[in-house]
Amino acid sequence: MRPPFFNIIIHKDDTFPDLHGVCAGFESRQWRKDQLVDYLFEYLPEFALTYSEFENLTGENVVAKMRQVVMSIYQSEKFKNRGEFGELLLHAIIRETYNTIPAISKIYYKDGPNETVKGFDAVHVVVTDDTLELWLGEVKFYNNISNAISDVIEELNQHVNVRYVRNEFVAITNKIDAKWPHADRLKTLLHPHTSLDDVFSNTCIPVLLTYDSSVLTRYDNKCDEYIQEISEELQRFHKNFCDKLGKFPLTIHLFLFPLNTKAELINSLESKLKIWQNL
């Protein structure tokens, strides 16, 4: 059985929004930066390809297809300032923790070669026999938690605007792969004839905020002292988020992800991307 990669340091489900304090962990007295990068790239094919393309991957076409994927991400040096890596991190976290299913490809449907994808940062579903729950993700892949909280709350308030939501639903519907097994159910949920009350009752927003953590810089293993300090830090930032958010009409799952530094993680992600580019 494959064990989970992420360390859930703290999970508080008795608050709104709930809190998942997530950490990459340590190995050989170092923060698991390189292991995190390797793990994220395991998800790159399903993150970047359409359902049909992913299902049709074979030993013969996988290298060419993944080279194409990487080229679509790595169009310019400006990519380091964009959110693709944050979206990939959110994708991996909610796939692992909630067994979500990606509904559309965000990279494949970029609006232009040097533009970030507009709209929600993840579009996933959780499927049961009776319901299809829509997960519309938001990410702030930042090094400063205060900026991340302020910016994401501004976007969250925008994203429950009726006109905005309806426009996004049209865009999402147009990107759903017809061969995806849940295509009809999701299209029905997002149809203009379906009341937004019904949609929102079956929708949640996973919010991922990253930040450079001073606690991480002081430790090189998951000792009791580290768990205590990072838990206190995570709960403090969770309270800040809740206080600024106030009342909100949708369920939110808040994921806080402390980094040793965002800069070093970006460097490792960039190095891995260059390797894949030259396959």
pLDDT tens for 104-113 read 987 655 555 4
User: How many Å is the Cα radius of gyration of the chain?
Assistant: 19
Q: What secondary structure does DSSP assign to the chain, as a single string?
A: -PPPSSEEEEEE-SSSSEEEEEE--EETTEE-HHHHHHHHHHTHHHHHS-HHHHHT--TTTHHHHHHHHHHHH-SSGGGGGSSHHHHHHHHHHHHHHH--EE-S-TTTT-SSTT-PPPS-SEEEEEE-SS-EEEEEEEEEE-S-HHHHHHHHHHHHHHTT-HHHHHHHHHHHHHHS-TTSTTHHHHHHHHSTTS-HHHHHTTEEEEEEEEEE-TTGGG-SS--HHHHHHHHHHHHHHHHHHHHHH-S-SSEEEEEEEEES-HHHHHHHHHHHHHHHHT-
Cα pseudo-dihedral 154, 17, 141, 108, rounded to 10: -90
Instruction: Measure the CA–CA gap between 69 and 87, rounded to whole angstroms.
Output: 15
Q: Give the pLDDT confidence of 61-92 residue by residue, as tens digits.
A: 888 888 877 777 766 444 555 678 999 999 99
The pLDDT of residue 78 is 40
Q: Within 13 Å of residue 96, how many CA atoms lie on the same side as its CB?
A: 21
Q: Is residue 132 part of a domain?
A: yes
- Closest-CA residue to 31 (of 222, 246, 234): 222
Overall average pLDDT of the 201-224 stretch = 96
Query: Does the pLDDT at position 114 exceed 60?
Result: no
Q: How many domains does the chain have?
A: 1
Query: Does the pLDDT at position 274 exceed 80?
Result: yes
Amino acid at 164: Y
| Entry field: residues in the chain | 279
The pLDDT of residue 207 is 98
CB-CB contact of 106 with 121 (8 Å): yes
Query: Does the pLDDT at position 206 exceed 80?
Result: yes
Overall average pLDDT of the 162-179 stretch = 93
Q: Is residue 1 part of a domain?
A: no
Q: Is residue 2 part of a domain?
A: no
CA dist 270 to 3, 39, 109, 166, Å?
A: 26, 14, 21, 35
Q: Give the pLDDT confidence of 7-53 residue by residue, as tens digits.
A: 999 999 998 999 999 999 999 999 999 999 999 999 988 998 889 98
The number of beta carbons lying within 10 Å of the beta carbon of residue 134 is 23
Domain that holds residue 147: 7-277
Separation of CA 233 from chain center: 21
Instruction: Measure the CA–CA gap between 180 and 53, rounded to whole angstroms.
Output: 11
If one compares 85 and 237, the residue with the highest pLDDT of the two is 237
Query: Does the pLDDT at position 278 exceed 90?
Result: no
The pLDDT of residue 82 is 62
The pLDDT of residue 75 is 62
- Closest-CA residue to 27 (of 5, 42, 55, 49): 5
Model confidence, pTM: 0.93
- Closest-CA residue to 22 (of 209, 150, 241): 209
Instruction: Measure the CA–CA gap between 176 and 277, rounded to whole angstroms.
Output: 27
For tokens 């709209």, the residue is 119
The pLDDT of residue 77 is 44
The pLDDT of residue 115 is 47
What percentage of the chain carries pLDDT values higher than 70?
92
pLDDT interval class at 116 (50, 70, 90): very low
Least confident of 92-101, 104-113, 230-239, 245-254: 104-113
